[in-house]
Amino acid sequence: MPEIQFQGSSYSLDENENLLDGLLRQHARAPYSCRAGVCHSCMLRVTAGSVPAEAQSLLTPEQVKKGYILACQTRITEDLSLTLPTRDEVPGILTELKTISSTEVSIKVSTRLPFDVSIGEYITLVSDERLEASYPVTGCSEDLQTLACSITRSAGGSPFSAWIHSRARTGDHLIVIKKG
């Protein structure tokens, strides 16, 4: 039976059991939402053991390089040690999208874990469609779980800003990455 080390506890999973199901069955506090590979809430980082390929098929090359997996997309065949994502990269949800002018929108993103960032620092936002761009933080809640940014659209601007200005909706999922 594969053994999973997660947040200081050990969990025995059945061979080929879904990782998220196996952790939740044993009352582990693993984050999740859609269970379908869409929201990225269940993203964990592998710290020991081999990363199952299908567990990374919906992630960006940068996330793959860092050893992230989606627990809801992972079937367990061998022992793994896992941690929650670091505070440098967290899943979030677009909670506000306000038109300021024809070329500027302000957005708010709520993150599932506190994200230690200050006003003026740059963050990278990654959409479900793998569009990404970096912006300075213009506001941050006291609990570090809501960030604000202002996004300008210009001719020849990034596909991410075009997406925010035309197709993004509140409730859309984003990954928030702290710029190194």
- Interface residues with ligand FES (CB under 6 A) are 32-35, 37-42, 70, 72
Report, in Å, the least distance between residue 57 CB and ligand FES.
Answer: 12
Query: Which CB atom, from 39 or from 137, has the smaller least distance to ligand FES?
Result: 39
The partner residues of 133 in beta bridges, in order of sequence, read 125
* Cα–Cα distance for residue pair 175/112, rounded to 1 Å: 10
Report, in Å, the least distance between residue 98 CB and ligand FES.
Answer: 27
Report, in Å, the least distance between residue 35 CB and ligand FES.
Answer: 5
Query: Which CB atom, from 57 or from 86, has the smaller least distance to ligand FES?
Result: 57
Report, in Å, the least distance between residue 164 CB and ligand FES.
Answer: 21
Query: Which CB atom, from 161 or from 172, has the smaller least distance to ligand FES?
Result: 172
Residues 123 and 144: beta-carbon distance below 8 Å:
no
CA-derived radius of gyration, the chain: 17
CB neighbour class for 91 (10 Å; exposed up to 12, middle 13-18, buried from 19): buried
Query: Which CB atom, from 93 or from 162, has the smaller least distance to ligand FES?
Result: 93
* Cα–Cα distance for residue pair 8/5, rounded to 1 Å: 7
* Cα–Cα distance for residue pair 81/4, rounded to 1 Å: 6
- Characterize 47-73 residue by residue with b for buried, 16 or more Cβ atoms within 10 angstroms of its Cβ, and e for exposed: eebeebeebbebbeeebeeebbbbbbb
Query: Which CB atom, from 38 or from 119, has the smaller least distance to ligand FES?
Result: 38
Report, in Å, the least distance between residue 176 CB and ligand FES.
Answer: 15
